[in-house]
Chains A and B, each alone.
Chain A
Amino acid sequence: MSLKIKKGIPLIDQHDKNFMYGGKFGGNFIPETLKKPIDDLTKLFNKLRKNKKFIKERDFYFKTYVGAPTPFIKLDNLTDHLGGAQIYAKVVSEANGGAHKIYNATVHCLIARKAGKKFIVGDTGAGYAGKMLSMAAKKFGLKCKIFMGAKDIKRQRPNVESMRKNGAEIVPVTTGSQTLVDAVSECMRYWVANCDTTHMCVGSTVGPNIFVKICAWSTAQISRELMSQVKEEFGKIPKKMKLLNCVGGGSSAMGFWNEFMDTDAEFIGIEAGGPKNSKLHAAPLTNGSKIGILHGSAQYVIQDNEGQIGRTESISAGLDYPGISSLHCFLKDTKRASYTSASDEEALKAYQLVSKLENISPSLEPSHAFAEAIKLAPRLKSSEVIIVNSCGDSLKDKDIIKQKLGSYVR
Chain B
Amino acid sequence: MKSKIALAFENCKKQKRPALITYTVAGDNTRKNSLKILNKISKHADILECGFPHNTPIADGGQIQGSSHRALKNGTKLKDVFQIVKKFKKINPSKPLILMGYFNLIYQNGENKFLNNCKKSGVDGLIIVDLPYPENKNFAKKCKKRDITFIQLLSPTTSKDRMKKIIKDSHEMIYYISMLSTTGGRLKVSPKKILENYNRIKRINPKKNLVIGFGITDKTISSLKSANGLVVGSMLCKIITNSLKMGQNPVTKLDKVVYNLKKKIL
Would you give the 0/1 interface string for B138-162, flagging 1 where the beta carbon is closer than 8 Å to chain A? Answer: 0000000000000001111111001
- B103 adjacent to A189 (CB under 8 Å): no
CB pair A31–B54 under 8 Å, yes or no, is no
Cβ–Cβ < 8 Å partners of A196 in chain B:
157, 180
Q: B108, B133, B135, B153: which contacts A290 (Cβ < 8 A)?
A: B108
Give which listed residue, B58, B72, B181, contacts A185 with CB less than 8 A: B58
Is B103 a contact of A33 with CB atoms below 8 Å? no
B59-67, B115-123, B218-226, B252-260 - interface stretch: B59-67
Q: Is the CB of A193 within 8 A of B182?
A: yes
B interface, size bucket: 35 or more
Q: In the complex where A35-B158, A194-B180 touch, is A308 in contact with B58 (Cβ < 8 A)?
A: no
Q: Is the beta-carbon distance between A292 and B157 smaller than 8 angstroms?
A: no
Contact check: which of A34, A35, A36, A307 meets B108 at CB < 8 Å? A307
Contacts of A27 in B (CB 8 A): 135
Cβ contact within 8 Å between A29 and B56: no
Is there contact, CB below 8 Å, between B108 and A303? yes
> Is B104 a contact of A35 with CB atoms below 8 Å?
no
- With a cutoff of 8 Å between Cβ atoms, the chain A residues found around residue B77 in the complex are 306
Q: Is the CB of A189 within 8 A of B104?
A: no
With both chains docked as a complex, state the minimum distance between the C-beta of A44 and any C-beta of chain B, in angstroms.
Answer: 15
- Find residues 134-184 in chain A having any chain B CB closer than 8 Å to their own CB: 175-176, 181
Cβ–Cβ < 8 Å partners of B72 in chain A: 308
B157 touches A33 (CB 8 A): yes
Residue of A18, A185, A308 near B135 (CB, 8 A) is: A18
Q: How distant is the Cα of A67 from the Cα of B183 in the complex, in angstroms?
A: 43
* Contact, CB under 8 Å: A193 / B162: no
Is residue B12 contacting chain A, with contact meaning CB distance below 8 A?
Answer: no
Is B130 within 8 A of A306, CB to CB? no
Q: Is A99 an interface residue (CB 8 A)?
A: no
Residues of chain B with a CB closer than 8 A to A296's CB: 58, 130
| Given A18-B135, A36-B158, A181-B56, residue A307 in contact with residue B177 (CB < 8 A) | no
* B131 cross-chain contacts in A, Cβ below 8 A: 29
A192: chain B residues at CB < 8 Å are: 58-59, 180-182
- Contact assessment for A33 and B58 in the assembled complex, using a CB-CB cutoff below 8 Å: no
- A342 is an interface residue with CB less than 8 A from chain B: no
Contact with B along A12-42 (1 / 0, CB 8 A): 0000001000000001111111111100000
| B57 lies within 8 A of A185 (CB) | yes
Instruction: Report how far A195 CA is from B130 CA in the complex, Å.
Output: 16
Q: B159-177 toward A: CB 8 Å interface, digit per residue (1/0)? A: 1001000000000000001
B108 engages A32 (CB within 8 Å): no
**Other-chain residue from A37, A185, A292, A308 in contact with B107 (beta carbon distance below 8 A):** A292
Complex contacts, B55 vs chain A, CB 8 Å: 176, 308-309
Q: In this assembly, does B102 line the interface, its C-beta being within 8 Å of a C-beta of chain A? A: yes
Q: Please tell me if B109 contacts chain A, counting CB pairs below 8 Å.
A: yes
Q: Give the residue name and chain of the B residue nearest to A298 (CB).
A: B107
Contact bitstring B90-131, A, C-beta under 8 A = 1, else 0:
000000000000111111110000000000000000000111
Is B180's CB under 8 angstroms from A306's CB?
A: no
Chain A 27-61 against B: per-residue CB contact (8 Å), 1 yes, 0 no? Answer: 11111111111000000000000000000000000
The chain A residue sitting closest to B77, CB to CB, is A306
Interface centre among A185, A189, A307, by most B CB within 10 Å?
A: A307
For B155, the chain A residues whose CB sits under 8 A away are 31-33, 35-36
Instruction: Compute how far the CA of A33 lies from the CA of B58 in the bound complex, rounded to whole angstroms.
Output: 12
A120 within 8 A of B: no
CA distance A181 to B54 in the complex (A): 14
A34–B55 alpha-carbon span in the complex (Å): 20
CB-based contact A189/B59 at 8 Å: yes
Q: Closest approach, in angstroms, between the C-beta of A30 and any C-beta of chain B?
A: 6
B102: A residues at CB distance < 8 A? 293
A211 to chain B, nearest CB (A): 13
Residue with the greatest number of chain A CB neighbours at <10 A, chosen from B56, B135, B158: B56
Contact B59 A294 (CB under 8 A): no
Look across to chain A and name the residue whose beta carbon is closest to the beta carbon of B157.
A36
CB distance from B72 to the nearest CB of A (A): 7
A292 to B107, CA, bound (A): 7
Apart from the given pairs A189-B58, A193-B185, 5 other A-B contacts in the complex at a CB distance below 8 Å: A192-B181, A293-B103, A293-B104, A306-B109, A308-B54
> Can you list 11 A-B pairs with a CB-CB distance of less than 8 A?
A29-B131, A32-B132, A35-B155, A35-B157, A176-B55, A181-B56, A196-B157, A290-B108, A295-B56, A309-B55, A309-B104
- Mark A residues whose CB is within 8 Å of B: 18, 27-37, 175-176, 181, 185, 188-189, 192-196, 290-296, 303, 305-309
